[in-house]
Structure 1
Amino acid sequence: MSGVSAVARIRATADARGGTALRELTGDGPLALRRSRHPQDAGAAHVVLVGAMAAPLGGDRLRVEVVVEPGARLLVTSAAATLSLPGREPAPAHYDLDLTVAGDAELIWRPEPVIAAAGSELRLWTRVHLDPHARLLLREEQVLGRHDERPGRLTSRLTVRQGGRLVLDQSTDIGTGAPPGWDGPAVLAGHRTLGQMLTTRAGTVGASAEAAAFPLGENLTLLTAVAQDIPALRAALEAPDPTPRPVPVP
């Protein structure tokens, strides 16, 4: 099977001055990582994921591994949307995210949306491993198709373990080629954009006509929403810019 295989790794650790150091920052192929200044917290690290080439294409296997060690604070964003495109062979692309957050550590995962272009097939799996005293804000946004084009297929899975216990394992399969009913009233109801926000911050999430909130585990909440476009989705998630201030753990 053709395609590109690439892995990016981020490891954030607390330094001796109350800040955060990046002990590991490596990426290859289409996964490039860049250091940046945190917009609000001088003691936190900020990493930007930059697409160095068109990806993911059909047959590609991409993986991002993030570890936030005790006392560290990390913000991860992306320079642009992730665009899933068809490859030369009719094979799905795989994009895995493995996020581990230790006790008294904080991860804010806030990339730009994943867009499933016409003819593409992407399998996205996000695995989250949390210490019971970890702090997390994870936002995922997915868009079916570019402007005025048919959607590609996007199969996504989110699994969350807190203190070693599985608290969430959910999957969605939407877009052209997905099982019937994906665009029906029980799933997207004609919308083209969906998203979710997973957070340990009390008071960050709520619910609206377009969104629903679900309590999970210890101080952990999942908010899901559908919308016609990204601005409407972020409004439904009540988080147009959800970067929280660090919150001390008792």
Structure 2
Amino acid sequence: MPGAGRATHADRRSAYRVRAVARVHARPDGRGGTALPVLEGEGPLALRRTRGAGDAARVLLVGAMSAPLGGDHLTVAADVAAGARLSLGSAAATIALPGATGGEACYDVELRVADGGELVWLPEPLISAAGSELAVTTRLDLAPTARLVFREEQILGRAAEQPGRLSSRLTLRIGGRTVLDQELACGPGAPGGWDGPAVLAGHRAVGQLLVVRPEFADAPVPAMTVGEGCAVVPLTGPAALVTAVAPDGLLLRRALDVALALVERPATPVR
């Protein structure tokens, strides 16, 4: 769906009020586990390493203050080296708010995974509060034998309120080849029809999963529907996409969890 592109977002960055970057670099530790030589956050983006499972490192993004507010520019970047395994999540939902000065905020997610590396990105939902304006840009760059589980959940408005304006662009590249490049714009001022039967059909929760596995190149995940409002489609290359809409965040999470279990069989992601 048409919306603000990367160049437009970049042109507006000079006006952003708070700039903050969180960086994670994951590397094999030489003992069968994963080390984090870089684990640093700024401003509202605090990172905490928690107990992982097996040889995977687990990191939580913890909001140190309310963000993103109107005019903020936040970036989360993760780099997973060959043989490393990293699980990234968040301690709570992210709420986009209008802030005192208003204006558009920007949230960039940049994830890179080398051959033989594995990344699981399972944050809590993004909530678009009334009056907010947020542009989310996610870039996933994977080597040919990298592994990925990526979840994105967006809730349009809090209880009994209209959503803010939210645009979201997601790009997946595998081995330098673009496999997916899509954009969705919702809320006041978004292109007409975003809430109609061809897009969200009146639902206020929308989400997707990307699962990348080298074995999918030879055995693609079959297209299927998972209950009402959730579908799985194979992508060109070793990847599968799950998209879902639901009346609320709880039902959305349930649908995505069921779909992930179906897509992952017999593989099991790190937690």
TM-score clears 0.5: yes
Query: Within 5 A, what are the aligned runs for 1:218-237?
Result: 218-237=237-256
Q: Partner of 1:174 in structure 2?
A: 186
Match of 1:35 among 34, 44, 49: 49
For residue 9 of structure 1, what is the aligned residue in structure 2? 23
Distance 1:177 1:128, change over 3 A: same
Counterpart position of 2:36: 22
In the TM superposition, what is the alpha-carbon distance from 1:162 to its structure 2 partner? 0.5
The partner residue of 1:51 within 55, 58, 63 is: 63
User: Paired residue for 1:93?
Assistant: 105
Tell me the distance in 2 between the aligned counterparts of 1:48 and 1:241. 21
Matches within 5 A, 1:54-133: 54-133=66-145
Partner of 1:211: 230
The one-letter amino acid of 1:10's match is V
Equivalent position to 1:153, from 165, 172, 184: 165
**Alignment CA distance shift 1:205-1:80 (3 Å):** farther
SS in 2 for 1:17: coil
Equivalent residues of 1:234, 1:240 under 8 A apart: no
Letter in 1 for 2:133: E
Which residue of structure 2 lines up, in the alignment, with residue 245 of structure 1? Answer: 268
Aligned residue type for 2:253: R
Q: Describe the SS at the equivalent of 2:209.
A: strand
Q: Residue 46 of structure 1 contacts residue 74 of structure 1 at CA under 8 Å; is this kept in 2?
A: yes
Tell whether the 8 Å contact from 1:95 to 1:123 is kept in structure 2 after alignment. Answer: yes
The alignment partner of 2:252 has SS state of helix
Query: Which has the larger share of helix?
Result: 2
Q: Point out where structure 1 has 5 or more consecutive residues left out of the alignment.
A: none
- The amino acid that maps onto 1:36 is T
Matched letter for residue 33 of structure 1: L
| Runs of 5+ unmatched residues, structure 2 | 1-14
Q: How many Å apart are 1:15 and its aligned residue? A: 1.4
Offset of residue 238 of structure 1: 3.7
What is the aligned counterpart of 1:140 among 148, 152, 157? Answer: 152
Question: Identity, % of aligned pairs?
Answer: 56
- Following superposition, the deviation at residue 155 of structure 1 comes to 0.2
Alignment of 1:193-208 (within 5 A): 193-201=205-213, 206-208=224-226
Residue type of the partner of 2:41? G
Aligned to 2:206, what secondary structure does the other structure show? strand
Residue 132 of structure 1, CA deviation: 1.1
> Cα distance, 1:200 vs. partner?
1.9
Deviation at 1:88, TM superposition (A): 2.4
